[in-house]
Amino acid sequence: MYQKIIDTAVEKMGKTTNVLQSDLRAIRAGRANPQLLERVTVDYYGVQTPLTQMGNISSPEPRMLVVSVWDQKALPLVEKAILKSDLGLNPSNDGKIIRLVIPELTEERRKDLTKLVRKNAEEAKVAVRAIRRDAMEQIKKLEKDSVITEDDRAKAEKKMQDKTDEAIKSLDSIAAQKEKEIMEV
């Protein structure tokens, strides 16, 4: 009976982990990575369209991204969207493609980025703990309604706590990996 509650909570924790991973992908570590532009949306004929659906994004050099748009008329729109994004990149448009040079990160900027990584990881941990709390409340309600015994509740709570610990350990390792990537010179 309580296993369904735990499975649902574990599934939600997995989604929280995925959200953290995608958030961290958007934090640039001084290396050109096409995933940096995943969140950029372009106002294309009145519709917010993801940049990744408007053309190809490649990384011909370690510190450069090249965006080639299928509709050449959309080039200025793409350039404007990149400038508006919080990536801090200056696109150079040659009429056919947009080049983005990824600047070298300063020591201060690296430290700021690691703080951002920690903040995102902490928010994810708070979300995981909220999921645990909701699951624990549901389990206690089952006991209160005499659906499960006190022993079952204790087993379920222990299982839930173990799953929560696993999720938090996973979030910590993801954050540590990203911090290491950022601090590499």
Domains of the chain by range and CATH?
2-25+106-183 (1.10.132.20), 34-101 (3.30.1360.40)
Residues 78, 42 contacting (CB under 8 angstroms)? yes
3-state secondary structure of 49: strand
| The pLDDT of residue 22 | 84
* Rg of the chain on CA atoms, in Å: 22
What is residue 169's DSSP assignment?
H
What is residue 106's DSSP assignment?
P
Residues 66, 57 contacting (CB under 8 angstroms)? yes
Of the chain, the percentage scoring pLDDT greater than 90 comes to 32
**Is 185 buried (19+), middle (13-18) or exposed (0-12) by CB count in 10 A?**
exposed
Instruction: Give the dihedral of Cα atoms 68, 72, 76, 78; nearest 10 deg.
Output: -40
| The pLDDT of residue 172 | 94
Per-residue pLDDT of 132-149, as tens digits, reads: 999 999 999 988 888 888
Per-residue pLDDT of 148-178, as tens digits, reads: 888 988 999 999 999 999 999 999 999 999 8
Cα separation, 125 vs 185, whole angstroms? 28
Q: Is the pLDDT of residue 105 over 80?
A: no
Chain mean pLDDT for the chain? 86
